[in-house]
Structure 1
Amino acid sequence: MVEEIASLKTLILSLIRLHDADREADKEIAKHFGWTVVEKTLKDPTTSDESIRSDWFNHEGENLKVPRYTSNLDSAISLLALASPSVYGGFSWAPGVGAAKFNDEKPVQAKTPAIAICVQALLMRLRALQIPPNAG
């Protein structure tokens, strides 16, 4: 769990600094919400060239493409349901900046609203990992 917490903190900081949507960030976000990747080495029989194919599986075991969390508002919002069973709040944007505020947490700013929503979802995940299950 300590490694996951450290990884979440690193990802959150990198998203806040992100200037645009990023597919590698989308994949890292997915990993924190139960997605797994299976990599297969493929060999071209005619040229013997090798390539790697990555198959991604969501938390329900479905083989799908990783959503574009950092560029698509619907995909980013879908993270919130995974992060917390009851979420309320909203997001806003202005040229060059997006913001998101959910539940009673402080607002977060990032380059776009989708990225700000991703940060909020990851912060919820981080808090859930840091709070003992029987606390409250």
Structure 2
Amino acid sequence: MDEVKDLIERLFRTELPSRALDTEVAKALGWKEEADGVWVNTQGGRSPRAPFYTSSLHAIYTFASSLSPRGGASWENGVASAQIGDGRLIQAKTPEIAMCIAAILAVHSKGD
């Protein structure tokens, strides 16, 4: 759980998309990289690389929609917000990053 907490803290501080963070976010959301380099998620989805979660609102919103039919993201004047279901309202520099944080919290709060 310390790794997840550290990732969330770094996401709150980041201002730009990052492929390195995409990889960490994907792992935190349940994706695994197989020996052949193909990424597999818990629903059986396969991808040749980790999804572009920190730069693609479509990618992270699609994942978030699998967690709850309710939620969304908004942005205005340099701050973005995101929420998934009844989860915490998250504010970050971009809607993608806010949605990443909200998704990680939703995944890791299940069973609490």
Classify the TM-score, shorter chain: 0.7 to 0.9
Which structure shows the higher strand fraction? 1
> Does the aligned pair in 2 maintain the 1:35–1:56 contact within 8 Å?
no
Q: Distance in 1 between matches of 2:85 and 2:45?
A: 29
1:64 aligns with 2:60: no
1:24 aligns with 2:8: no
TM-score, length basis structure 2: 0.84
Q: CA RMSD in A?
A: 2.0
TM-score, length basis structure 1: 0.71
Displaced runs of 4+ in structure 1, greater than 6 A?
A: none
Q: In percent, how many aligned pairs have the same letter?
A: 34
Aligned to 2:3: 7
Q: Distance in 1 between matches of 2:16 and 2:45?
A: 29
1:77 aligns with 2:73: no
Q: How many residues align?
A: 110
> Does the aligned pair in 1 maintain the 2:87–2:106 contact within 8 Å?
no
TM-superposed deviation, 1:38: 4.6
5+ residue gaps, structure 1: 40-53, 132-136
